[in-house]
Structure 1
Amino acid sequence: MTEQELWKAYLSMLPEELASTLHYTAWHFCDNEADANELAELVLAGVKRGTASSLWTYDITGDPVPVVGERSVILDWSGNAKCVIQTTHMDIVPYGEVTEAFAAIEGEGDKSLAYWRAAHEAFFTRECERLGLIFDESMPVICEQFEVVYKPL
């Protein structure tokens, strides 16, 4: 299913006065196929209910920072639309202050903070290198929580 088809199906379930006001972004998790596809499946299974991103990336790219209420179409690596999520909560904290509770909400690996730190330090290091930056634990991290609001049957 394409992102436009999924979005249209989602909107068809909403009152017209709400549907006409909504917009979305479409994206996949992570920077590689295996992780992107696995994380999308964790969202569909209800295990992954959060994601983390670097505020530095938004500052450099000029993309808007996620906001509460925003909707996103989650894609797999190949661009297949999997579901629509809605951001329910967001904090910006230094990488070194991300909590065990947030790591569990993100739902990756064994859901521990140790796993979260290992996986995210590797990811953020790669991302920083692509942007000409150096990762450090003071890097501001957007800790976003979401809920699935639509997935195809």
Structure 2
Amino acid sequence: MPENPEIDAYWRAVRAAHPELPDAAPEAWGFGATPEHADSLLELVLAGVKTGTASSLWDYEATGDPLPQEGDCSIILDGAGTPRAVIQTTSVRIVPFDQVGADHARAEGEGDRTLRAWREIHEQYWRENSENPRGYEPDMPVVCELFRLVHPS
């Protein structure tokens, strides 16, 4: 990760409150595809409603980004790119889209938190924002990640 003074300062402050965290700042990223989406999903995280997220395995393959691992920390950015929270991954499972369960849909905290809403929201998201040419398929592999909020700002 390239050096970023704002993120480095944020990580130092977080580590002062949580000295058990690693020395090196973890990856910093925002949820969603737009600044507005990042802000709305971040607010769900900060409110304790959103404790899960889903990503396309195909997108990871297309970008070459490493898959999340249990125990990984992430700095979550708002829509303006400002660090606002630290989360820690507690579980990672790869599941076909059409087999993602209601518990995971509820953990994502979006819409009315039902599996029906989750499927509609995520199908549209991957049709419009996929980072790979395959986009969306009903049986596409989905990286289902659960996390805990370590440090809200």
TM-score (norm 1): 0.90
State the one-letter code of the partner of 2:16: S
Which residue does the alignment assign to 2:62? 60
Which residue does the alignment assign to 2:14? 10
Matched residue count: 149
Which residue does the alignment assign to 1:84? 86
Shift of 1:36: 1.2
2:38 to 25, 36, 39: 36
In 2, Cα distance between equivalents of 1:147 and 1:84? 9
In 2, Cα distance between equivalents of 1:29 and 1:20? 23
In 2, Cα distance between equivalents of 1:55 and 1:26? 19
In 2, Cα distance between equivalents of 1:56 and 1:45? 30
Once the two structures are superposed, the pairs formed by residues 4-153 of structure 1 within 5 Å of their partners are 4-15=8-19, 18-128=20-130, 130-152=131-153
Task: Report the identity percentage.
Answer: 42
Shift of 1:2: 3.4
In 1, Cα distance between equivalents of 2:22 and 2:143? 28
Shift of 1:5: 2.4
Q: 1:19 to 1:112 in 2, by over 3 A?
A: closer
Q: CA RMSD in A?
A: 1.7
DSSP-derived class of the 1:111 partner: coil
Shift of 1:140: 0.5
Q: Is the 8 A contact 2:73 2:88 kept in 1?
A: yes
Gaps of 5+ in 1: none
1:47-80 Cα shifts (integer Å, max 9, x gaps): 0000000011111111100000000000111101
In 2, Cα distance between equivalents of 1:86 and 1:96? 26
1:96-120 Cα shifts (integer Å, max 9, x gaps): 1010110001111110011111110
Q: Is the 8 A contact 1:48 1:108 kept in 2?
A: yes
TM-score (norm 2): 0.90
Q: Is the 8 A contact 1:3 1:75 kept in 2?
A: no
Q: 1:134 to 1:42 in 2, by over 3 A?
A: closer
